[in-house]
Structure 1
Amino acid sequence: MGWMEASFSLLIVCLLHPGVNKPYLPLASGEYSVQTGVIVVSSFAILSFWLGWIVGSWPLFWALFISFVLGTAYSINLPLLRWKRFAVVAAMCIFAVRAVIVQIAFYLHIQTYVYRRPAVLSRPLIFATAFMSFFSVVIALFKDIPDIVGDKIFGIQSFTVRLGQERVFWICIGLLEMAYLVAIVVGAASSNTWSKYFTILGHAALALLLWTRAKSVDFRSKAAITSFYMFIWKLFYAEYLLIPLVR
């Protein structure tokens, strides 16, 4: 998963125009020239596809390819592209990669390529896809909250620009708390005792941590909002420790 994430992330970082919203990033700060950025992104993209090809797993290769295509369309400033300018389309790109492609493709990779088993629609897979759908929507909404100034300047009509920072923030918190509540219900319905306790207690703890941290955010501070956004990503990856416990 690391090499796919690396190419996708570098593509976004290097091809976006972050001068107002993220002046500390390599291109905006002048640390990298545009030529260096192109070389870095191209090298990682080629290396990623090469690794995907030599591994020989088609689910893994197609996950990389589709993520690369969507990441390019999302970021690159060419006619009919740079889909991040359109709130709904941008959210669909993030949803497609994070909630659907990553969950299903990696599951198929392990089942069909690693274990040589037929693919079946398992309870953890259904749970992971549904749960990460909530997280993907939240990430798509929340990523624009710290960037409202730059988005207004460049005419990007994000949900934050339309509805305001605080309103979108609490919509995101509500969606995540709803996801944790559903996860607790799923855990309670499990017939496996250890799975029941781990999923209930784990998700309840994360839900409480999220709510406690959310109440302390200062909306006047971009640094505070950005820090909370990074905290959401930590919750996102923490979920992968709980998904295998769902039975």
Structure 2
Amino acid sequence: MESLLSSSSLLSAAGGLCWRKQNLKLHSLSEIRVLRCVSSKVVAKPKFRNSLVRPDGQEPSSLLLYSRHKPRFLVNATTGQPEAFEPKSSQKSLRDSLDAFYRFSRPHTVIGTVLSILSVSFLAVEKISDISPLLFTGILEAVVAALMMNIYIVGLNQLSDVEIDKVNKPYLPLASGEYSVKTGIAIVASFSIMSFWLGWIVGSWPLFWALFVSFILGTAYSIDLPFLRWKRFALVAAMCILSVRAIIVQIAFYLHIQTHVFGRPVMFTRPLIFATAFMSFFSVVIALFKDIPDIEGDKIFGIRSFSVTLGQKKVFWTCVSLLQMAYAVAILVGATSPFIWSKVISVVGHVILATTLWFRAQTVDLSSKNEITSCYMFIWKLFYAEYLLLPFLK
């Protein structure tokens, strides 16, 4: 039996893949056409089994071409059938699509939105009987509508910052080219429409106005139009984030549960006032800290963030100091609680968070973008932890 390849070789020339056709022989196949040139390093791996004899008695004639950085392709060259490139499996394509959407949605903001709504909703619980399917239905309505609006806001920001993200965040789908601009526009438009539609059919005015104000501020923050793109101005950008994260989320979603779900009159409780004040501090810290690792791209594209104007080190320690002040106030408020369980959880919990932040800040190398980014994500974890503590403050 004639062998599959009597003498074949792959040559790398000009970054491409070339076949020496004159040395190539295929059983009952006169020629092979190269359908695709692979610019990256490619390895040709014959798939031989049982000395080139398949169980069905036919000669195998397949080569598996794969790249270290590209999807795999299978070259089929069976007798009487033209060779063709088969794309990667649909399962892998689905996984890649989900991964791209996961990064597009900015998962740390999604987690923050879900935890904040859950925490604030439970602030409206006054008695055990309030914990019912009615409560969880109201929370689900708020969470789904808010997540859709969250994806609109972060998606619009990426659409407006494609060139900046190529420097600061090249892993994002629009910056990396995984998503086209048309795809990004379709996603943000769809999710904004669905968010408003859900808020309207639910019939809760606090929920609808929370979505509407978030939409207005999120659009003004990112979109590059005259008098807009407020992210260019450090103070205005911080106020936008504070308004959404600290005020709208706390008050509007609390009122959604208090008035729409439970049918109670509007009432601003001590825990709600504390949560709004504390998260105002935290939102300012997030607004300041998020620009520290992005200083390189912001300088290039003229974004005058506090990190650009004041320097990374000064902004970093300002953020740490603001959080320490907020934790000190939280400890004092927790110590005045009339409930012993609330007092213990609030005081001990905030002492642990403040101590952890202080020791974490001491280890950060401010000359390393990776370490600053890691610390920024740690700040978000503290943000999540605070929402876990808030319902225990009474």
TM-score tier, shorter chain, comes to over 0.9
Q: Which residue of 2 aligns with 1:67?
A: 214
Residue among 159, 164, 172 paired with 1:14: 159
Distance 2:237 2:192 in 1: 21
Opposite residue 78 of structure 1, the aligned amino acid is L
Matches within 5 A, 1:76-155: 76-155=223-302
Instruction: Please give the root-mean-square deviation of Cα atoms over the aligned residues, in Å.
Output: 1.1
Q: Deviations over 1:157-216 (max 9, x none)?
A: 111111110110000000001101100000011111110000001111111111111111
Q: Which residue of 1 aligns with 2:390?
A: 243
Matches within 5 A, 1:153-172: 153-172=300-319
Percent of counterpart pairs with the same letter? 69
Distance 1:10 1:110 in 2: 28
Distance 2:232 2:364 in 1: 27
Q: Deviations over 1:31-60 (max 9, x none)?
A: 111101100111111111111111111101
1:192 aligns with 2:339: yes
Would the aligned equivalents of 2:151 and 2:188 in 1 still touch at CA under 8 Å? no
TM-score, with length taken from structure 1? 0.97
Would the aligned equivalents of 2:281 and 2:322 in 1 still touch at CA under 8 Å? yes
SS in 1 for 2:212: helix
Distance 2:204 2:161 in 1: 31
Distance 1:231 1:8 in 2: 22
SS in 2 for 1:190: coil
Q: Deviations over 1:87-120 (max 9, x none)?
A: 0110110011011111000110010011111111
State the structure with more CA Rg: 2
Question: Unpaired runs of 5+ in structure 1?
Answer: none
Would the aligned equivalents of 2:291 and 2:305 in 1 still touch at CA under 8 Å? yes
- In the TM superposition, residue 225 of structure 1 has moved relative to its aligned partner by 0.6
Q: Which residue of 2 aligns with 1:231?
A: 378
Give the number of equivalent residue pairs. Answer: 247
Q: Kindly report structure 1 stretches of 4+ aligned residues shifted beyond 4 Å.
A: none
Q: Which residue of 1 aligns with 2:12?
A: none
1:3 aligns with 2:128: no
Matches within 5 A, 1:198-237: 198-237=345-384
Q: Once structures 1 and 2 are overlaid, which stretch shifts more, 15-24 or 96-105?
A: 15-24
- In the TM superposition, residue 9 of structure 1 has moved relative to its aligned partner by 2.6
Higher RCO (CA 8 Å, separation ≥ 6 residues): 1
Q: Which residue of 1 aligns with 2:191?
A: 44
SS in 1 for 2:168: coil
TM-score, with length taken from structure 2? 0.61
Q: Which residue of 2 aligns with 1:23?
A: 170
- In the TM superposition, residue 16 of structure 1 has moved relative to its aligned partner by 2.5
